[in-house]
């Protein structure tokens, strides 16, 4: 199984679908709630392509469905069937290739999903594909074949209510004008001049490994939004100094600082039965944080020897000033590039 996660770099869904479509020999079955994409299927000949979808009035007026795209696919001989939107809240995104490979994902067969949206899915050649084939066949049998008459009626509806569609776009623009202050992952270095700074070791040396090679303790800290230490460890008094608003560097030995967090509360000690790490037999010290950066294993920086050994260390003193500035500057620059 391959997990498809869009991370702002190569568009993994588009790349995977292009590859599977290109290598497909016999059949492509697509179930999609919304449909605007055509280019991926334009050059596919001698392969039976079926698309199962549902078209409501709101889908047409909002632009979630592009009738021009549907008309183009229909003219190319692609079979399209429709489920009744009044009786079926149709929302799957499933792609089946030659009845032996599949993709299940959050991504509709739309340009936005493949080019812009934050999507996640899985691709597999598991024998369980047979269950999807049966599921698709059952819905396909119940659905209504798209005909030229139905398509003409849908286009007529769209033309008749163009003004309504424009009003919907105006409403959407009005919403955008609300300017909701969504969290932006970007540093303002000067805002943290009054903060104290700390380093927390991500415990790669003693951590179990996940199947993908990542470190269990490190991923636990990132996923749970905590920095964590387990007794016994050196410099416990340093962890007790942390106050809300202080900055904590998550440090991986032999790599460098891999993420930056802002403390939300003071340190809290819990017994093993209440620990986030279920396999621990010692008390767990943890601090809730708001991660200010994505994980970045590319940043290599020398840490003073005295900062490498302790699990948790206060680096607020002047002698660590250069180190702090280098770390903050790197992540500030990195996040600006990602924005």
Mean pLDDT check: name the lowest of 9-18, 50-59, 328-337. Answer: 328-337
**Superfamily the domain 2-176 falls into:** Endonuclease Chain A (3.30.870.10)
Q: How confident is the model at residue 339 (pLDDT cuts 50, 70, 90)?
A: very low
Q: How confident is the model at residue 303 (pLDDT cuts 50, 70, 90)?
A: low
Give the angle subtended at the CA of 86 by the CAs of 95 and 171, to the nearest 5°. Answer: 85
Q: pLDDT value at position 92? A: 94
Task: Name the token pair of 165.
Answer: 């569609």
Q: How confident is the model at residue 338 (pLDDT cuts 50, 70, 90)?
A: very low
Q: pLDDT value at position 205? A: 84
Percent of the chain at pLDDT exceeding 70? 89
Q: pLDDT value at position 306? A: 55
Q: Which value, in Å, is the radius of gyration of the alpha carbons in the chain?
A: 26
Mean pLDDT check: name the lowest of 19-23, 112-116, 227-231. Answer: 227-231
- CATH 3.30.870.10 spans which residues of the chain? 2-176
Longest Cα–Cα distance of the chain, Å, equals 77
- CATH 3.10.590 spans which residues of the chain? 189-338
Query: Given a cut of 80, is residue 152 above it in pLDDT?
Result: yes
Q: What is the pTM of this model?
A: 0.65
Residues 6+ apart with CB under 8 A from 161: 57, 60, 61
- For residues 183, 187, 191 and 193, what is the CA-based torsion angle, rounded to 10 degrees? 140
Query: Given a cut of 60, is residue 335 above it in pLDDT?
Result: no
Interatomic CA distance for residues 5 and 122, integer angstroms: 9
Q: Give pLDDT tens digits for 158-175.
A: 999 988 888 888 888 888
Please give the average per-residue pLDDT across 57-74, as a whole number: 92
Q: Thinking of the domain 189-338, which architecture would CATH place it in?
A: Roll (3.10)
Query: Given a cut of 50, is residue 264 above it in pLDDT?
Result: yes
């Amino acid at each position: 199984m391959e997990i498809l996660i869009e991370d702002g770099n190569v568009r993994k869904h588009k790349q995977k679908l292009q590859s599977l479509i290109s290598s497909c020999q016999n059949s492509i079955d697509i179930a999609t709630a919304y449909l605007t994409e055509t280019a991926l299927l334009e050059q596919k000949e001698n392969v039976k392509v079926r698309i199962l979808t549902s078209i409501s009035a709101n889908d047409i007026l909002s632009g979630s469905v592009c009738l021009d795209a549907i008309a183009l696919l229909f003219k190319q001989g692609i079979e399209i069937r429709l489920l009744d939107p009044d009786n079926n809240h149709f929302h799957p995104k499933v792609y089946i290739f030659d009845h032996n490979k599949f993709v299940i994902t959050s991504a509709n067969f739309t340009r936005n999903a493949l080019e812009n949206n934050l999507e996640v899915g899985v691709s597999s050649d598991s024998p369980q594909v047979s269950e999807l084939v049966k599921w698709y066949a059952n819905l396909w049998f119940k659905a209504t074949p798209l005909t030229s008459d139905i398509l003409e009626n849908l286009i007529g509806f769209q033309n008749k209510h163009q003004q309504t569609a424009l009003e919907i776009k105006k409403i959407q623009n009005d919403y955008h004008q609300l300017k909701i202050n969504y969290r932006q992952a970007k540093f303002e270095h000067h805002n943290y001049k009054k903060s104290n700074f700390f380093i927390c070791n991500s415990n790669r040396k003693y951590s179990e490994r996940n199947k993908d090679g990542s470190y269990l303790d490190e991923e636990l800290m990132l996923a749970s939004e905590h920095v964590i230490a387990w007794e016994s460890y050196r410099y416990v008094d340093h962890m007790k100094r942390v106050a809300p608003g202080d900055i904590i560097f998550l440090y991986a030995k032999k790599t460098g600082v891999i993420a930056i967090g802002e403390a939300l509360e003071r340190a809290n000690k819990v017994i093993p039965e209440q620990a986030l790490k279920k396999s621990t037999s010692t008390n767990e010290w943890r601090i809730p944080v708001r991660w200010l950066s994505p994980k970045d294993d590319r940043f290599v920086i020398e840490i003073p020897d005295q900062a490498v050994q302790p699990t948790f260390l206060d680096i607020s003193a002047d002698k660590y000033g250069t180190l702090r500035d280098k770390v903050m500057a790197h992540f500030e620059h990195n996040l600006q590039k990602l924005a």
